[in-house]
Amino acid sequence: MLFFIEPWIEPDAWLSGPAHMIAAEDGERKVCRVIRNQRDGDRSFLDAHYLFVNGTEVEYATERHELRLLSQQQWFGFFRNAGLPVEYLPEGLMSRGLYVARL
């Protein structure tokens, strides 16, 4: 059995910065998303705020993602401790790499 694990951003590659916004519309339907990122030690936080508009109705929603920033050495340690042989593909699916482990 194969496991494919796409890691989150590594600690040295994390960039905190200004909020990012994207908006789209299709007739009377509109959506806007603003994401702000932060870091506290080895944890990253992404706070997303959404506005959904359909005609004259407006809805607002938020979500928070908290993800740990792990190095390749930490990932390899997890696999080694679990007794799983692993291969690392640097490009991966989204340029963050991909771990392929065998059970």
Residue type, 82: A
Domain that holds residue 46: 2-102
What is residue 78's predicted lDDT score, i.e. its pLDDT?
96
E strands, 2-103, are: 2-5, 20-26, 29-40, 43-54, 57-68, 86-89, 98-102
How many domains is the chain built from? 1
What is residue 94's predicted lDDT score, i.e. its pLDDT?
87
User: What's 86's domain CATH number?
Assistant: 2.20.130.10
pTM flag (> 0.75): yes
Order of strands across the sheet with 86-89?
A: 2-5, 98-102, 86-89
- For residues 37 and 16, the answer to whether their CB atoms sit within 8 Å is yes
For the stretch 51-86, pLDDT in tens is 999 999 999 999 999 999 999 999 999 999 999 999
Query: Residue 80 carries which DSSP code?
Result: H
